[in-house]
Amino acid sequence: MSSMHSPIPPVIEAPRSAPGRPRRGRTNTEMYAWLFMRISGVVLVFLVLGHLFIMNILDGGVQRVNWAFVAGRWASPFWQVWDLLMLWLGMIHGANGLRTIINDYTRKDGTRLALKGLLYTATTITIALGTLVIFTFDPTLR
Amino acid sequence: MSTHAPADGTAAPNSPPPVAKTSTVKPAGTLYRGREGMWSWVAHRITGVLTFFFLFAHVLDTALVRVSPESYDKVIDTYKNPFVNLMEIGLVGAVLFHALNGLRIIAIDFWSKGPRLQRQMLWAIVVVWIVVMVPGAFFMFKHSFELLFGGK
């Protein structure tokens, strides 16, 4: 009967589309960041929950952790790769999460730039330090 | 026939019918704001930031294994007390929520039924969280409990 009033789908602007700013370049960096969060997230669920279970609950938990314990674990390439993967994925996953939060809450360009500069510097140093320690650690030191 | 046509024919042809006529459920006001969707998002942010900041301290303390066995053991020994033990339980709780809710977000994004079941999935992960955290916190705090209240 009222076929003249065919429903028109409402047009909703995409979130954070920043109408004034044209998109830069042809690659969709934000889409890859979004995808990375999901892929690294699934991997981290196993790596981190496994790590927390072994370190905090199994065999007396933190009480048994000391230098000799770490040396025993990092004598094995399996745990070296586990920890290295956890370090890289965890740090990048966390840094990208904090980048989103900085983008959400900063109002001035200067503040945003300063916070991101601090974030990327701290992240790079921490990943580099952790990687160096895993690769140059000598389990026979004592 | 049009879905917007009022059943009793009293309203103007183009105006939507009042909510009371389309639903027997009291309107909640909004689908997202102030409800499970929003609060799980807030909790996801807070647990994520806390975990990320902990990571900086954790990589630094572990880096001490490269300095000397003595310096590493000295710092790790300061963690072996009931107060830090409680913070560790808090960290495990935060990470576990972030992990479970992250899987829920992935299900919402990639599973066709995900968006419709987002509320039920949140309560499901809350149940899983409690089921894991109760024995988890028990085993994590066992040593501290014995230290504080005697035991064997």
Structural domain harbouring B132: 30-149
Asked, for residue B4, whether it belongs to a domain, the answer is no
CA distance B109 to chain A (A): 10
Q: Answer yes or no: do B102 and A45 touch at CB < 8 A.
A: yes
Distance CA A89, CA A132 (A): 16
Give pLDDT, residue B9.
44
CB pairs under 8 A between A and B: 102
Asked, for residue B11, whether it belongs to a domain, the answer is no
Give pLDDT, residue A2.
44
- How many domains, in total, are found in chain B? 1
Q: Answer yes or no: do A67 and B139 touch at CB < 8 A.
A: no
Of A89, A93, A77, A76, whose CA–CA distance to A47 is shortest?
A89
The model's confidence at residue B18, banded by pLDDT at 50, 70 and 90, is low
| Residue A132 touches partner B, C-beta closer than 8 Å | yes
Domains of chain A, by residue range, sit at 31-136
The model's confidence at residue B19, banded by pLDDT at 50, 70 and 90, is low
Question: What is the Cβ-side half-sphere exposure of residue A3, based on CA atoms within 13 angstroms?
Answer: 1
The model's confidence at residue B150, banded by pLDDT at 50, 70 and 90, is confident
Please answer whether residues A54 and A86 qualify as being in contact, where contact means their C-beta atoms are separated by less than 8 angstroms.
no
CA distance B57 to chain A (A): 9
Give pLDDT, residue B33.
80
The residue ranges of chain A whose pLDDT is under 50 are 1-3
Considering only the beta carbons, identify the residue of B1, B52, B55 that sits closest to A1.
B1
Give pLDDT, residue B48.
98
Asked, for residue B124, whether it belongs to a domain, the answer is yes
Give pLDDT, residue B92.
97
Give pLDDT, residue B12.
53
Q: Answer yes or no: do B102 and A94 touch at CB < 8 A.
A: no
Please answer whether residues B82 and A11 qualify as being in contact, where contact means their C-beta atoms are separated by less than 8 angstroms.
no
Tell me the per-residue pLDDT of B34-49, one tens digit each, with 9 for 90 and over: 888 999 999 999 999 9
Which of A133, A137, A141 should be substituted to probe chain B, the one whose Cβ sees the most B Cβ atoms within 10 Å?
A133
| Residue B4 touches partner A, C-beta closer than 8 Å | yes
Tell me the per-residue pLDDT of B61-103, one tens digit each, with 9 for 90 and over: 999 999 999 999 999 999 999 999 999 999 999 999 999 999 9
Asked, for residue B22, whether it belongs to a domain, the answer is no
Q: Is the pLDDT of residue B26 over 80?
A: no
Q: Which of A133-137, B20-24, B48-52 has the lowest mean pLDDT?
A: B20-24
CATH number of the domain encompassing residue B122: 1.20.1300.10
Asked, for residue B10, whether it belongs to a domain, the answer is no
pLDDT top residue among A105 and B146? A105
The model's confidence at residue B2, banded by pLDDT at 50, 70 and 90, is very low
Give pLDDT, residue B5.
44
Q: Is the pLDDT of residue B29 over 90?
A: no
**What residues of chain A, 53 to 82, have a C-beta less than 8 Å from chain B?**
56-57, 60-63, 65-68, 70-71, 74
Give pLDDT, residue A75.
92
CATH 3.30.465.10 fits A31-136, yes or no: no
Give pLDDT, residue B23.
57
Q: Answer yes or no: do B2 and A1 touch at CB < 8 A.
A: yes
The model's confidence at residue B6, banded by pLDDT at 50, 70 and 90, is very low
Of A75, A125, A67, whose CA–CA distance to A95 is shortest?
A125
**What residues of chain B, 28 to 67, have a C-beta less than 8 Å from chain A?**
45, 48-49, 51-52, 55-56, 59-60, 62-63, 65-66
Question: What is the Cβ-side half-sphere exposure of residue A43, based on CA atoms within 13 angstroms?
Answer: 17
